[in-house]
Amino acid sequence: MPDLLRVLVVEDDPVAAEAHRTYVDRLPGFTCVGIAGTAARALSVLSQGQIDLVLLDMNLPDGHGLDVVRRMRASGNQTDVVAVTSAREVAAVQAAARIGVVQYVLKPFAFETLRDRLSAYARQRRAAEAGQVVADQDEVDRLLHPATVSSVPKGLAGSVLDRVVQLLGNREGWTAEEVAAELGTSRITARRYLEHLADQQQALRTQRYDGRSGRPKVEYSWVSES
């Protein structure tokens, strides 16, 4: 395996595409070598080789992401694919698995989510290329259904962080009190997750004025996806 895994980001939204490029380039062992905004452009780049992994959106302006994978396979291209998409239908997830999509990441997501998924992918790839063999059925099950070890900051839970990201992606402007009400947690707990996302430049802090006396509230909006 080369020192760096070369990644093609396939995403038609420029803001999301640039966010994904930034995420990939922050990961040790990975580098983003290009962005394709259409299915046709993705297939053209892939036909030239030199791509190890595709981060693939499902809804492209000139076709569906699964059709891109099918055309890749029909042409003999076995490049690995990670779906990065807002498509939540069970049928879409099952169809992706049937044609060999190795991971399925729902938008919007925190950086840590993609980091964990791609790190697990890299470990599996290294093991395969080193010719390692499985020891037992449990290891087979782990390979087929990889469980990633959360690398979110200490004191934060990955599942809760992803829930906060989903909330921020659903509408503009959330206060810590509003997020706490949705999560069923304290305001302080919700604020820790929101501040983490803001520190990672995935959420934007602004002031909310309600026209009444008193201090304005801090609200948070998602900025890395659209």
Question: For the purposes of burial, counting CB atoms within 10 Å of the CB of 140, is it exposed (0-12), middle (13-18) or buried (19 or more)?
Answer: exposed
End residue of a domain, out of 118, 138, 158: 138
SS3 3: coil
CATH number, domain of 77, equals 3.40.50.2300
Co-location of 29 and 60 in the same domain? yes
Give the predicted TM-score (pTM) of the model. 0.68
Contacts for 13-16: CB closer than 8 Å, 24+ residues apart: 13/57, 13/225, 13/226, 15/224, 15/225, 15/226, 16/57, 16/107, 16/224, 16/225, 16/226
In a domain, 35, yes or no: yes
In a domain, 145, yes or no: no
In a domain, 62, yes or no: yes
In a domain, 29, yes or no: yes
Co-location of 11 and 91 in the same domain? yes
Co-location of 36 and 128 in the same domain? yes
pLDDT of residue 79: 95
Task: Give, for all 226 residues of the chain, the pLDDT tens digit.
Answer: 457 999 999 999 998 899 899 999 999 899 999 999 999 999 999 999 889 999 999 999 999 999 999 999 999 999 999 999 888 788 888 888 888 898 888 887 888 888 888 988 888 887 777 787 767 776 666 665 654 445 567 788 877 888 888 888 888 889 999 999 999 999 999 999 999 888 877 888 898 877 665 678 899 998 754 4
Co-location of 129 and 155 in the same domain? no
Q: Which residues pair with 208 in a beta bridge?
A: 217
Cβ atoms of residues 42 and 8 within 8 Å: yes
pLDDT of residue 226: 41
pLDDT of residue 35: 97
Q: How many domains does the chain have?
A: 2
Give me the domain span that covers residue 165.
150-222
In a domain, 200, yes or no: yes
In a domain, 217, yes or no: yes
Amino acid at 75: S
Co-location of 127 and 159 in the same domain? no
d(CA 10, CA 45): 10
